[in-house]
Amino acid sequence: MSDAKTASRRIFEDVWNHKNLAAIDELMAANYVHHDPQTPKFPEGIEGYKQLVNYYLKAFPDCQFTIDLEIQEGDVAVTHWTVRGTHRGDLPTLPATGKTFSVTGISIARVKDGKLVESWNNWDALGLMQQLGSVSAAAGRAA
């Protein structure tokens, strides 16, 4: 059995925190599938994940993830995380604000032969938009 927590942790540490996109080639399976209802749709596979990472790093170049909790069951790792950063680059519907943020999320990663083959992600996108000033807190409570 591969160590799913190790592979999942390396995505956060090597790819996101150290901005090492080359690590994606060794950490992701060629047919990797990313499930995230809050993120724009990118192609599946290694190149699609690189596009996703570049999308967010362009907007939040100083983002840093902290692993709050990790659980492994068989070939699946569950990671509760917090990401902090500054909105320095434009998003499609929101120009750079220069505001800082901190949001939490959960990622569930399935690993085969030491590589991520699929992940399911859910994070506080509404909280991010509130902190960036795109959505008011009152509008968020009404939703």
Residues 6+ apart with CB under 8 A from 51: 42, 43
Q: Residue 13: give the domain boundaries.
A: 4-138
Amino acid residing at 39 = T
Return d(Cα 74, Cα 1) in angstroms, integer: 7
Q: Which residues on neighbouring strands pair with residue 65, listed in sequence order?
A: 83
Going by pLDDT thresholds of 50, 70 and 90, the confidence category of residue 1 is very low
How many alpha carbons lie under 13 Å from residue 7 in its C-beta half-sphere?
27
Mean pLDDT calculated for residue range 36-49? 95
pLDDT (tens digit per residue) in 81-118? 999 999 999 998 899 999 999 999 999 999 999 999 99
Mean pLDDT calculated for residue range 125-134? 95
Neighbour tally for 8: CB within 10 Å:
26
- By CB atoms closer than 10 A (0-12, 13-18, 19+), residue 93 is exposed
Residue 45 token pair? 């596979």
**Residue at 143 is within a domain:** no
Per the structure, how many domains does the chain have? 1
Residue 122 token pair? 């859910």
CATH number where 110 lies: 3.10.450.50
Checking if the pLDDT of 141 tops 80, the result is: no
The single residue listed with the structure tokens 């929101």 is 94
Least reliable range by pLDDT among 30-34, 58-62, 118-122, 132-136: 132-136
Mean pLDDT calculated for residue range 37-43? 93
Q: Looking at per-residue confidence, does 1 or 7 come out higher?
A: 7
**Residue at 81 is within a domain:** yes
The model's pTM: 0.90
**Residue at 74 is within a domain:** yes
**Residue at 30 is within a domain:** yes
